[in-house]
C-alpha cells in the first residue's frame, strides 16, 4: 500500500489521481487551498484531506507533518498544484509574474525541500512533478506559464541526479490537453492589453472555451498510467501523457535536432585552436 501526497486536488488531474489511487486501496493525502473543495474524499477511510497553499511555507510544514503523523511516511509526492496564465510577455505586470512563479515553480520547490528529509531517512520515495508540453513548445501568450514549467523540469533533472544515490526517484510528467477546468478557473489573463499582439497572444486570451472535444486527456487514465509506470523497475525521466503530447514532443525533438545540425558549422567555430 502506497501513500500518495498530491497537491491541487480540488479538480482536474489532482482530483482524478486522488480518486483512482483510493480506488486501488492506497492511502492518499489530498490537498487544496480550499479544503471544502475536497468533500468528495471526506468519507474515504484511507484519505487525509488537508488545506494547503503551496505559496505559504507554514501550510506546507503543517500538511507534511500531519501526513507523516497519520500514515508514517510519504511514498510519492505529486506536485500538481498550479495554474495557467495568458498574456504577451510585454503585457504581464510584476504581480502577475510573481504569482505564477510562486505557485507553479517555487511552490513545487518548497514541497520538495520539505518532503525530502523523511524520504532521505527512509532511503526511498518518488517525486513526480507535473509540468506541461508547454515546457518545450510554448505558444504565444503562454510564455510565463511555459517558463515556470521549463524551470521545474530543469530543477527536476538536477534533483534526479542528487537523489538517485539515496534511493529517491524523480519523474517529470508532461500532459497534453486534458478534459479539465484548466482553461476555466485555473487560468489567469493579463490585465493589460496591447493591440499589436491581437493576432498572436491576443487570440488566446479567453477562458471557458465551449469547444473542448479536441482535448483527449482523461484524468482517471492519467492516474492509471502514472501508477503503472511507477511500478516499473526503471522509470523515465520524462513521461508524456496523450497521443497529442507525443506528437508535439516528437516534432519538437526532430526540429531541434535538425536545427542543431543545420547550424553546426557555425556552432563549432567557437572552439579554441
Write down the pLDDT at residue 207: 62
Write down the pLDDT at residue 206: 79
CA-based radius of gyration for the chain: 19
Phi, psi angles (nearest 5°) of residue 261 = -70, -35
In three-state secondary structure terms, 93 is coil
Q: Is residue 144 among the annotated active site residues?
A: no
The length of the chain in residues reads 273
Strand partners, 28: 4, 47
93-100 — which CB contacts under 8 Å span 24+ positions?
93/190, 93/191, 93/192, 96/144, 96/188, 96/190, 96/191, 97/144, 99/188, 100/144, 100/145, 100/148, 100/188
Q: What is the pLDDT of residues 55-103, one digit of tens each?
A: 999 999 999 999 999 999 999 999 999 999 999 999 999 999 999 999 9
Half-sphere exposure of 104 (CA within 13 A, CB side): 28
Q: Report the C-alpha gap between 92 and 141 in whole angstroms.
A: 10
Q: Report the C-alpha gap between 220 and 157 in whole angstroms.
A: 27
Cβ burial of 12 (10 Å; 0-12, 13-18, 19+) is: buried
Q: Which residue has the cell 506546507?
A: 60
Could you say which residues of the chain have pLDDT below 50? 184, 210-211, 213-214
Q: What structural domains does the chain harbor?
A: 3-244 (3.40.50.720)
Write down the pLDDT at residue 185: 63
Contact 131, 172 (CB under 8 A): yes
Which runs of E-coded beta strand occur in 110-235?
125-130, 168-175, 187-189
Catalytic residue (one of 20, 144, 145, 197): 145
Supply 193's cell numbers. 492589453
Write down the pLDDT at residue 214: 47
Amino acid at each position: 500500500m502506497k501513500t500518495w501526497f498530491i497537491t491541487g486536488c480540488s479538480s482536474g488531474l489532482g482530483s482524478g489521481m486522488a480518486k483512482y489511487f483510493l480506488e486501488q486501496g492506497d492511502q492518499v493525502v489530498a490537498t487544496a487551498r480550499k479544503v471544502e473543495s475536497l468533500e468528495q474524499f471526506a468519507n474515504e477511510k484511507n484519505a487525509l484531506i488537508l488545506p494547503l497553499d503551496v505559496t505559504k511555507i507554514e501550510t506546507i510544514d503543517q500538511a507534511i507533518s500531519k501526513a507523516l503523523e497519520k500514515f508514517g511516511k510519504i511514498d510519492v509526492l505529486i506536485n500538481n498544484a498550479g495554474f495557467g496564465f495568458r498574456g504577451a510577455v510585454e503585457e504581464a505586470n510584476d504581480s502577475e509574474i510573481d504569482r505564477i512563479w510562486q505557485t507553479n515553480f517555487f511552490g513545487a520547490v518548497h514541497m520538495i525541500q520539505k518532503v525530502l528529509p523523511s524520504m532521505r531517512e527512509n532511503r526511498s520515495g518518488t517525486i513526480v512533478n507535473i509540468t506541461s508540453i508547454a515546457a518545450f513548445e510554448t505558444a504565444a501568450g503562454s510564455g510565463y506559464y511555459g517558463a515556470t514549467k521549463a524551470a521545474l523540469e530543469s530543477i527536476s533533472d538536477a534533483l534526479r541526479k542528487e537523489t538517485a544515490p539515496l534511493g529517491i526517484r524523480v519523474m517529470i510528467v508532461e500532459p497534453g490537453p486534458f478534459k479539465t477546468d484548466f482553461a476555466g478557473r485555473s487560468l489567469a489573463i493579463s490585465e493589460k492589453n496591447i493591440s499589436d499582439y491581437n493576432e498572436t497572444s491576443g487570440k488566446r486570451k479567453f477562458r471557458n472555451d465551449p469547444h473542448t472535444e479536441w482535448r483527449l486527456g482523461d484524468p482517471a487514465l492519467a492516474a492509471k498510467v502514472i501508477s503503472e509506470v511507477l511500478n516499473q523497475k526503471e522509470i523515465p525521466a520524462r513521461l508524456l501523457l496523450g497521443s497529442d503530447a507525443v506528437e508535439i514532443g516528437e516534432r519538437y525533438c526532430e526540429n531541434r535536432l535538425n536545427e542543431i545540425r543545420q547550424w553546426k558549422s557555425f556552432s563549432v567555430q567557437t572552439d579554441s585552436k
